[in-house]
A and B are shown apart, each in its own frame.
Chain A
Amino acid sequence: MFFHNNDKSDLNDIADIPREKESALKDDFKDSKSHQNNQNWLKKNYKKYYFNFYANITLPEKIHLHEFGFRHFEGEKMHRHLSFKNSGELHAFVLKFAPSDIYCSSSLYSRPTEPMDKKEWGGSELIFDIDGKDLHLECALTHNYTKCHDCKSIHPGVLAKCTNCNSSRIYIIDVPCKNCIVSLKKEVTKLVNFLIDDFGIERSGIFIYFSGNNGFHLHVLDSDYYPLLSNERSEMASYLLGKGFKMETLGIKKTQGDKFVPLSKSKQLLEAGWRDRILKKLKINFYSSKNSDSDFSKQIEKLENAMKCDFQQMVLKTVDDLSVKIDPMVTMDIHRIFRLPGSLNSKSGLAKILCNDLKSFDPFNEACFFDKSKVDIVCFSPVSLLFKGKRYGIHEGNNHVPRYVAVYLISKGLANIDLKDIQDG
Chain B
Amino acid sequence: MSIKLGTNDLAKYPFLNEASLYIKDTHFDLLEFDRSEMSFIINRSFEKIESFIKNNETRHYYKIDKFEIEILTFLASLLILKSASIDIITKKFALFESMRFEKYLIDDLKNSFKDETKRLILLKIFKEVFKIDVYAETKTIELYKIRVPEYIRRSILFHEQEWKLINRTVKDGYVYLDVSEIVRLFRNELSLLIIDKIKNMKSITFPKQVLIKSQKLKNYWDSVNKKTDVDIVNKKSVTPPCIDHLYRVLDTGENLPHSARLLLATFLLFSGKSIEEITEMFKKLPDFNERITRYQLEHLSGKTGSSKKYFVPSCEKIKMENLCHETNVCKGIINPVQLLGKRMKI
Question: A-side interface residues toward B, CB under 8 Å?
Answer: 1-7, 197-201, 224-225, 227-228, 231-232, 235-236, 238-239, 242-246, 248-249, 268-270, 272-275
Contacts and interface: CB of A to CB of B under 8 A. Distances in A.
B267 interface: no
A235 B165 contact: yes
Contacts of A227: 149
Given A232-B156, A238-B166, A268-B141, A197 B149 contact: no
Q: How large is the interface on B (under 10, 10 to 19, 20 to 34, 35 or more residues)?
A: 35 or more
B91 to A, nearest CB: 22
A366 to B, nearest CB: 32
A244 B152 contact: no
20 contacts: A3-B261, A3-B282, A3-B292, A6-B292, A198-B173, A199-B148, A200-B148, A200-B173, A228-B152, A228-B153, A235-B155, A244-B166, A244-B167, A246-B167, A248-B167, A268-B141, A268-B143, A272-B176, A274-B166, A275-B169
Given A3-B258, A5-B292, A231 B167 contact: no
A43 to B, nearest CB: 37
Given A227-B149, A228-B152, A268-B141, A249 B165 contact: no
Given A4-B287, A268-B143, A273 B168 contact: yes
A186 B85 CA distance: 60
Contact of A231 (B156, B168, B254): B156
Nearest to B262: A2
B27 interface: no
Interface in B139-189: 141-143, 147-149, 152-153, 155-156, 161-162, 164-174, 176, 178
Contacts, number: 111
Contacts of B165: 235-236, 238-239
Most chain B beta-carbon contacts within 10 A, residue among A4, A201, A248: A4
Contacts of B287: 3-5
A249 B176 CA distance: 13
B169 A246 contact: no
A272 B170 contact: yes
Contacts of B156: 231-232, 235
Given A200-B148, A224-B149, A268-B178, A3 B285 contact: yes
Nearest to B174: A200
B201 to A, nearest CB: 30
Contacts of A273: 168-171
Contact of A235 (B141, B142, B164, B178): B164
B289 interface: yes
B296 interface: yes
Contact of B141 (A7, A236, A270): A270
Contacts of B170: 198-199, 239, 272-274
A231 B164 contact: no
Given A235-B165, A273-B170, A5 B257 contact: no
A2 B296 contact: yes
A20 to B, nearest CB: 15
Contacts of B112: none
A414 to B, nearest CB: 35
